[in-house]
Amino acid sequence: MYMRKNKKNKVFVKIIITVLIVSLVVFLPIIYLFSGYLSETKRVKANILLVEGWLPNYALELAYDEFQKNGYDYIITTGLKFSSNYYYMLSMDGYLIFYPEKKLTDIAGDTHHIIEVNAYSELDGVNSAHFNVFVNNSPVADFFANKSKNKFPIPWRGSLNDIDSIVVQFTNDGVGDYGDRNLFVKEIIIDKKTKIPYLNNSVYVIGTLDSKRRVINNFNSYAEFAKNRILAMGMDSSLIIAIQGEKTRINRTLSSALAFRDWLKTSDIDIEGINIVTMGTHARRTLMTYDKILKKKYNIGIISLPDYKNKITIKKEVLQTLREALGIIYYWFILIPY
């Protein structure tokens, strides 16, 4: 009786394995074909290069290269207002330099102070973000951040009037099977009371400290974020325009497209054509959205950049394709009124 039951179980397992193999053979080619359709690049003759502001730094570099090689008149960056008040130190190691002198007032006779860095990491444990802290170019501490938002304290002796700069150096940016390691910094706090936020008080230097690739942090939207990063690559400031969409948690592509449409109503720039730079399978939804919002008044193309930063496994590609397929269906319905 036991042997008969065991034999039936083996047959059942073989049937299940066979069904799975057949499903993969049939299903995966369809997924790959549809993934290619969603991420297809179709350039048009255009004088405007529109860049989605959420793209990582290497993708912005590719967008700038596209601008230089193909004779565009302007780059336009789009994106929503930041939903967080933390500075997103991403894409590569770098230095977030605070210039606090205007906000510091020394306490007479007091030379003992506490400097705190308000920060957190995107990843935990052995994959936590690491950062060094410098005061006036002298190293004073280093920390591993975790996913919890913390204030990292540093005892410091001296007059606050002597502080010219406080630097947070992100040292171990990376990506792998563990995820994407990033560091987020909100502010520097002096003696528990004087807060120096990154916005309007800091500069981000990409790469080495003497690099000319400097981003002045005087913005609070992804549109301005992308603009400043491209400017740091050597872009002529008169040829790049940032257009901020209304802040929203859903329908972000739609919000950016609506902001661009409204800007066009008051712009005196002649539009010969528009190529939109985005990434991966998001391309088809982006093109569909801008075509609908702009009533097909303009010749619009799409440039889908490869996702080099994230390791794409079969599982991830299937999930991304399915998510974007559902996204297209959803957007088709919400775009009906426009």
Give CA–CA dist 289/260, Å, rounded.
12
Task: Return the closest-CA partner of residue 136 out of 119, 153, 152, 159.
Answer: 159
Place of tokens 């009906």: 336
277, 42 contact by CB (below 8 A): no
pTM above 0.85, yes or no: no
Widest CA span in the chain: 92
Average pLDDT for 111-132: 93
199, 228 contact by CB (below 8 A): no
Domains of the chain: 38-82+220-327+334-338 (3.40.50), 84-217 (2.60.60)
Res 94 pLDDT > 80 = yes
Cα 79 to chain centroid distance, Å, stands at: 10
Three-class DSSP category at 252: helix
At residue 186 the predicted structure's pLDDT band, cuts being 50, 70 and 90, is very high
Q: Kindly report, residue by residue over 62-71, the tens digit of the pLDDT.
A: 999 999 999 9
Res 313 pLDDT > 70 = no
Give CA–CA dist 144/129, Å, rounded.
6
Q: What is the pLDDT of residue 317?
A: 66
H-run or E-run covering 231: helix 222-231
Q: Which two tokens stand for residue 161?
A: 């009037």
Q: What is the pLDDT of residue 241?
A: 96
Which residues 6+ apart lie within 8 Å of 67 measured at CB?
Answer: 49, 75, 235
Q: What is the DSSP letter of 86?
A: S
Give CA–CA dist 193/199, Å, rounded.
18
Task: Return the closest-CA partner of residue 36 out of 331, 333, 325, 326.
Answer: 325
Which residues 6+ apart lie within 8 Å of 282 measured at CB?
Answer: 38, 39, 253, 304, 324
Res 22 pLDDT > 70 = no
